[in-house]
Structure 1
């Protein structure tokens, strides 16, 4: 994003200086060209503005309250009969899908392995769900390339659900 926005700033300054023979939609054309060339960027373009959405790689430290919530959820699952766990977990996930809210964080985890702890799978599902919601909202707002990223996120969600069901 930073490199793309630096380029767009250069285009803007060159056109504003009068030294270049910029057409009316030169800025928009440059922005959409970047968006189609770099389909992994989430870029929004207009005749006078270009915005690029990106994720920070940092993740806040979990609070004591979050640790307590994870521990309580693990204890509740441990008390449930083994044969009902995957079904109950799948139903809980499906119910949470129906109540999806906009993301407040866009940190994601993209690797999945077998034999992981249930809490880790749930944490990854939470992150993936937030990313999916963020992409859906960005797509609805007209951001470019976000809809291309949704199938991969949905596939990762499905893999996590299969992993939960297999446990």
Structure 2
């Protein structure tokens, strides 16, 4: 239970920090990627994003096969995390989901020049190289960015 909320009875059964949820697909070996919270007939589960404009606002801390319990944490402006990078970045760069092509699902990258609508949600806090777990933090106002 979230101790900060414990004095408010309507806030029972809440928690802070990492939590376990079902994997909605095979997430084995994919720790450090971002995932989206979804459901299977009302049961919460996480999956990799399917498009560059989807909201993927949880970090996978440990992966596992489809149907297993995996550990995730919600992205936050109050805490930085390390997310798998596709390409390179510099401190201060805004990050979006990498191209959705199987190999890069759940990775992040700098906002590309290719015309599309991207969900821009993280800011790099260090210089990063391809495949690095780059230090970043949730932007104050994540949201769609249109590149024309």
Q: TM-score, normalized by length of structure 1?
A: 0.21
Bigger strand fraction: 2
Structure exhibiting the larger radius of gyration computed from Cα positions: 1
Which of the pair has the greater relative contact order for Cα pairs under 8 Å at 6+ separation?
1
Q: TM-score, normalized by length of structure 2?
A: 0.22
